[in-house]
Each structure stands twice: as C-alpha cells, then as structure tokens.
Amino acid sequence: EEVCFALPGLLHSVTTVFHAQAGEKDIKLQLHVAENIPQLLMGDPTRLTQILINLIGNGLKFTRHGNIDVRAELKFESSTDVLVQFTVKDTGIGIPQEKLALIFERFTQAQAETTRLYGGTGLGLSIVKKLVELQRGTITVESTENSGSAFIFTIPYKKADSVNYTSQEEPERLELNKNEAHKILIVEDNLLNQRLASFILKDMGYKHFICGNGRLAIDELNKNKYDLILMDIQMPEMNGYDTTIYIREQMKLKIPVIAMTAHALPGEREKCISFGMTDYVSKPINDAQLSQMITNYLNKQRT
C-alpha cells in the first residue's frame, strides 16, 4: 500500500532502534541522508522498515568492531518520480566469494562455525530480496571475507507534498490516541522480529510488552492484563502452540491470540485455530493486515 511518508524521519527512527545495541558492542552506527532527496515520498514505509531492520540487524550481528553506515542517496529524479539508493555497509566478517551468488537464495545456510558464533539471520535475505522486488526495486551485495559487506538496494518512489502528508496524518493521530488504551503482548524469540513487531505496534499507537518465549509470556500474563497476544510459533523453552494451550486450558483466558508464522501453507490457519489460537498472520508481517486484524478482534471484545 502506497502512503505518504517522510523518508528522513523513517531512517532516523529505524537507526535509533539499534543505537543501544551498537553502543554495547562499541560499534559506530552512522546515518547519512542526501539533502537532495525530497522530504516526502509516496511508497511503502512498512516494507522499507522491514528491509532496513533486517539488514542493520544482520550487520550488527556479524560485526565485532568498526562501524555500520546506512546511506540514502538520490540516483534519479524527474518532475514526479525519484529513484533512491539505500546502502547498509558494515565492517563485519564478510561473505565468502563462493557464497555471494547464492546469498539471496531461500535455503542458503551460513557455515556451521558462523551459525554457532552468530546465530541465524532475522527474516532472511531471500525475504529481504522479495520485499525489495515487491516495491519494483533491485538489491545487490558487495563483500570481502573478513573485511565487511555492503547491501545496496534501489527503490522508485513518487514525489509527494505536504498537503498529502497532512491530510493523512490527522485521522491517523486520532486513531493512535484511541489505540493507546489497549495493551498487546508480543511473544517472539528473534530479536529482529521483536523489533519489527514493536516498531509496527508503536507506529499504530498500541502499548506493548515483549517476551522471548512462552514461559516468560505465561509469567507476564499472571502478573499483568493484556488485550491481545501476538504469538510466534517456533520458540525455545516453550513454543507458541504449547503456550496457547496453557493459556486456554490452565489459565482459562479468552484473550485473542494471533499467531505469527513463517509457514504460509494451506491449512496453517486451521492448524493454529486447532491449538486455540484466534487467527494468524504470515511473516513478513503486513502492517495493514495486522492492524485490521487487531482492530477487528479488539472490537469483538468490546461487543
């Protein structure tokens, strides 16, 4: 869905999410936005956010020291359109040359030693590539092993103006104020997915809290009241299915539970519901779909 958004503000918000983590690792996270890029664009800010969160998060994960640079540059401009090039460059472990051609393949795995030291990678680069292409963009990677990597992607946007931006902002602000009355529990073990879900809910105006697995979620539900739960399926300690069964059978809670699953397979919704979940969304999360689903179930609770 194309909406009017302020690109510099989005980039600043996304990089701010990672400042604390970068500081803990003594990594310098820098943002550079070319001044000639129009302030307001028409496009899909949610997909752009998903891409950036994944690439910056991976950069931090695979970088022990040095810096991560996030850049936005204007590559083309007409009276109505622009082409923006984004670069996320790190000084991390890099990618072996023989892996570069396959890095965006769905089932490409890192070397066993790399996986042991650094863990998996967020949404996965295959999904990042898909998100870029869904916006009529392209993505490439440049890398030298033990020296770092640069992920470069371009996305075309329509120019917008302040009238479009203002007309969309006012009703959204009223909606955000209304949403602040609700509290949502995110149950997700992957740090990048936690940040993405948190970013989306914050943008919608919902109060929220994050638990890294099902056991922590149950502890939290015993202490505090929530209006809705976003539940990952694959988690350590206690997975989403077992957690939902416990919530329904032991805690006797009727709170809506929306599953977040990477498996958009036929019958997945029915499987989730059979375990006591209310509905499900597939990753990568579509914010418009999630927003509508949350609104629907919260409204049902009030009636």
Ranges of each domain in the chain:
3-161, 178-301
Angle between helices 191-204 and 287-302 (to 10 degrees): 60
For the stretch 240-281, pLDDT in tens is 999 999 999 999 999 999 998 876 666 777 888 889 999 988
- pTM check: above 0.85: no
- Eight-state DSSP code of residue 198: H
* Contact yes or no for 90/65 (Cβ under 8 A): no
> Please, which pLDDT band fits residue 113 given cuts at 50, 70 and 90?
very low
3-class DSSP assignment, residue 224: coil
For the stretch 118-144, pLDDT in tens is 344 444 788 889 899 999 999 999 988
Strand (E) or helix (H) holding 77: strand 66-77
Token duo for residue 71: 């850049």
- 3-161 against 178-301: fold identical: no
In the predicted structure, residue 193 carries a pLDDT above the cut 50: yes
- Rounded to whole angstroms, the Cα distance separating 277 from 269 reads 9
User: Which residues in 223-249 are b (16+ Cβ under 10 Å) and which e?
Assistant: eeebbbbbbbbebeebbbbebbebbbe
Look at domain 3-161 and name its CATH class: alpha beta
Give the residue from 149, 192, 151 showing the smallest Cα distance to 63.
149
Mean per-residue pLDDT over the chain, rounded: 83
Pairing of strands 81-90, 207-211: unpaired
Provide the strand spans (E) within 128-189.
138-144, 148-159, 183-187
Q: Which residue bears the tokens 């007309």?
A: 167
Residues 6+ apart with CB under 8 A from 240: 187, 214, 231, 232, 233, 234, 259, 277
CA 285/CA 184 separation, integer angstroms: 16
pLDDT for res 165? 52
Q: Which CATH number fits domain 178-301: 3.40.50.2300, 3.40.50.1000, 3.40.50.880, 3.40.640.10?
A: 3.40.50.2300
